[in-house]
């Protein structure tokens, strides 16, 4: 299952609305100004030409087709967001969020492409930080349904919204949302509330660690323990993902050593840099930061379980030849933070999102017990009903379930988790018995 966390940028509004992400400071003007640190732009001409994968029927190959986009300037970004702040148009909010989802999906599909680009997958779950609004609940935005939102303090900087791919086949055992049960006037200390989800059995904390405690290791640990205990009654945490506000790249992994259920916490940052998907989700390159200045890794994923990191479509930082190597997660890298609005590329946040993949269930036996009465589709592993239970496959199966199988050379290969069964062999009639039994 692919999961993406993307922090947006709000302005501390108190009203229960999603509009704070597109007004005032939300179009991060510093990120807009710093686009030239990542893309080859000059001050006079802010146009960028980039290749888009295109299938050539003549050569039967995927080739690059050049596209061009113009990046807005800092003043244009500020003017655009100020205009929205005055109008607060509901349709414009949905248009903005559609652009955000489109960028996240393109980035994720680019990072998880296989078979020479013929196979790629969108995220199953998207968690947006600094966003919540009553008006968004139940909305379907570019194929993603808003299934939950939380606003624990009223401060829009600490809100969260969960979106699920509309046609994904997940049930309550694949995803459990731990709803918050207390309200506070502030969200600045160890009692601050974050979004916690259990995904395929793994407890994940999606965070926006408060600035007041982000530099104090003990306070950060207490903050995470509080949220893990609040959610499940246990302090153990399987994965931390989100905006940590850490001042140095190794701060979080160092703070979590021996804490919250594990001794060795490994972060998504590899070698001091992180791979970023370029504008439009087509080219990849490394950057040294996820914040608006591209110089500090605020946004990371961190876990004490086995993890695979992907670079140039190969596993790095892990010993794939170890017989005990059984990764729980794949860290695919970062999303872009620019999307096309009003025919120009705008920074929709001052943060890059983090793309991870959950490879396996934490407790397979519990899952089997949960679904022991189900008959599952041999292609997508979803529940079958009615006549489908006789065919063994959904009549309109949308997808083939795939998983990573690491090879000895460190590369990754996509293979089907279920082999297609051979045709049923019929037993010849036995005249002596007078029946027509068949092998099943």
Q: Which of 239, 235, 218 is nearest to 226 (CA)?
A: 235
Instruction: Give the three-state DSSP class for 65.
Output: strand
CA 421 to chain centre: 33
Q: Which residue has the tokens 């994940």?
A: 204
**What's the confidence (pLDDT) of residue 162?**
97
- For the chain, what percentages of helix, strand and coil (3-state, to nearest 5) are there? 20, 30, 50
Residue 343 vs residues 33, 47, 255, 312: alpha-carbon distances, Å: 18, 12, 44, 31
Cβ atoms of 327 and 303 closer than 8 Å: no
392-418 exposure pattern, b = at least 16 Cβ within 10 A, e = fewer: ebbeeeeeebeebebeeeeebeeeeee
201: closest CA among 163, 258, 245, 239?
A: 239
CA distance 170 to 286: 33
Count the alpha carbons within 13 Å of 242 in the hemisphere toward its beta carbon: 26
Cβ neighbour number for residue 424 with a 10 Å cutoff: 8
Helix axes 74-87, 90-111, angle to 10 degrees: 130
**Strand 299-303 with 266-267, pairing:** antiparallel
Residue 67 neighbours by CB distance under 10 Å: 14
Count of residues for the chain?
440
The verdict on pTM exceeding 0.75 is: yes
Q: What end-to-end distance do the CA atoms of the chain give, in Å?
A: 33
CA distance 188 to 211: 7
Give yes or no for a contact between 207 and 242, defined as CB atoms under 8 angstroms apart. Answer: yes
Q: Are 298 and 276 in contact (CB under 8 A)?
A: no
pLDDT value for 440 = 35
Phi first, then psi: what are they for 195, rounded to 5°? -85, 125
Per-residue pLDDT of the chain (440 residues; tens, 9 = 90+): 999 999 998 877 777 788 888 776 666 788 888 898 888 887 778 998 887 777 788 888 778 788 889 999 888 888 888 877 777 778 888 989 999 999 999 999 888 876 666 677 899 999 999 999 889 999 999 999 999 999 888 778 889 999 999 988 887 778 999 988 667 667 778 888 999 999 999 999 999 999 889 999 999 999 999 999 989 888 899 999 999 999 888 899 999 999 998 888 999 887 778 888 888 777 788 888 898 889 889 999 999 998 988 877 778 877 778 888 889 999 999 999 999 888 899 999 989 999 999 999 888 766 665 666 777 777 777 778 888 887 778 887 765 434 445 444 444 443 334 344 444 454 554 545 444 443 33
- SS3 state of residue 30: helix
What tokens does 123 get?
């995220």
Dihedral in degrees, nearest 10, Cα atoms 87, 88, 89, 94: 150
Q: Within 10 Å of residue 250's Cβ, how many Cβ atoms?
A: 12
The DSSP code sequence of 124-163 is: SEEEEET---GGGTT-EETTEEEEEEE-SSS-GGG-EEEE
- 402 touches 417 (CB < 8 A): yes
SS3 373: coil
What is the structure's pLDDT at 118? 65
CA gap 205, 208 in Å, rounded: 10
Check residue 57 and give its pLDDT.
Answer: 85
- Stated as kind and residue range, the H or E segment containing 340 is strand 338-341
CA angle centred on 128, ends 127 and 134, rounded to 5°: 105
- The CA-atom distances, in angstroms, between 53 and each of 50, 65, 117, 121, 242 are 10, 6, 8, 15, 30
Instruction: Give the tokens for residue 159.
Output: 């809100």
Task: Give the pLDDT score at 421.
Answer: 45
Neighbours of 25 (CB within 10 A): 16
């Amino acid at each position: 299952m692919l999961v993406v966390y993307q922090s947006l940028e709000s302005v501390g509004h108190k009203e229960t609305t999603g509009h704070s992400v597109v007004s005032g400071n939300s179009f991060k003007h510093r990120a807009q100004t710093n686009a030239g640190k990542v893309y080859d732009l000059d001050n006079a001409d802010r146009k960028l030409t980039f290749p888009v994968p295109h299938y050539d029927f003549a050569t039967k190959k995927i080739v690059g087709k050049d596209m061009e986009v113009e990046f807005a300037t800092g003043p244009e970004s500020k003017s655009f967001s100020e205009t929205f702040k005055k109008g607060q148009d509901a349709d414009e909010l949905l248009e903005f969020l559609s652009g955000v989802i489109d960028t996240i999906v393109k980035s994720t599909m680019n990072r998880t492409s296989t078979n020479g680009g013929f196979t790629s997958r969108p995220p199953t779950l998207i968690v947006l930080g600094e966003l919540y609004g009553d008006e968004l609940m139940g909305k379907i935005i570019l194929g993603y349904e808003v299934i939950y939102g939380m606003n624990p303090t009223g401060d829009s900087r600490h809100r969260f919204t969960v979106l699920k791919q509309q046609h994904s086949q997940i049930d309550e055992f694949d995803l459990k949302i731990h709803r918050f049960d207390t309200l506070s006037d502030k969200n600045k200390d160890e009692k601050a509330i974050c979004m916690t989800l259990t995904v395929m059995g793994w407890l994940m904390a999606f965070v926006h660690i408060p600035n007041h405690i982000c530099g104090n290791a003990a306070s950060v640990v207490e903050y995470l323990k509080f949220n893990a205990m609040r959610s499940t009654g246990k302090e153990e945490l399987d994965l931390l993902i989100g905006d940590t506000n850490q001042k140095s790249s190794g701060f979080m992994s160092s703070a979590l050593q021996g804490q919250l259920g594990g001794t060795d916490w490994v972060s998504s940052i590899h070698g001091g840099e992180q791979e970023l998907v370029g504008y439009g989700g087509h080219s990849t390159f490394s950057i040294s930061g996820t914040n608006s200045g591209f110089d500090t890794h605020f946004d990371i994923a961190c876990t004490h379980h086995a993890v695979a990191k992907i670079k140039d479509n190969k596993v790095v930082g892990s010993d794939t030849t170890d017989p005990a190597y059984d990764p729980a997660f794949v860290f695919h890298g970062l999303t872009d933070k620019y999307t096309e609005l009003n025919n120009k590329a705008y920074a929709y946040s001052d943060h890059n999102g983090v793309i991870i993949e959950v490879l396996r269930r934490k407790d397979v036996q519990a899952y089997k017990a949960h679904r022991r009465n189900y008959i599952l589709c041999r292609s997508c592993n979803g529940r079958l009903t009615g006549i489908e239970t006789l065919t063994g496959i959904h009549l309109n199966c949308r997808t083939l379930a795939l998983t990573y199988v690491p090879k000895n050379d460190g590369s990754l290969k996509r293979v089907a988790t279920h082999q297609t069964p051979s045709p049923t062999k019929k037993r010849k009639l036995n005249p002596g018995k007078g029946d027509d039994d068949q092998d099943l």
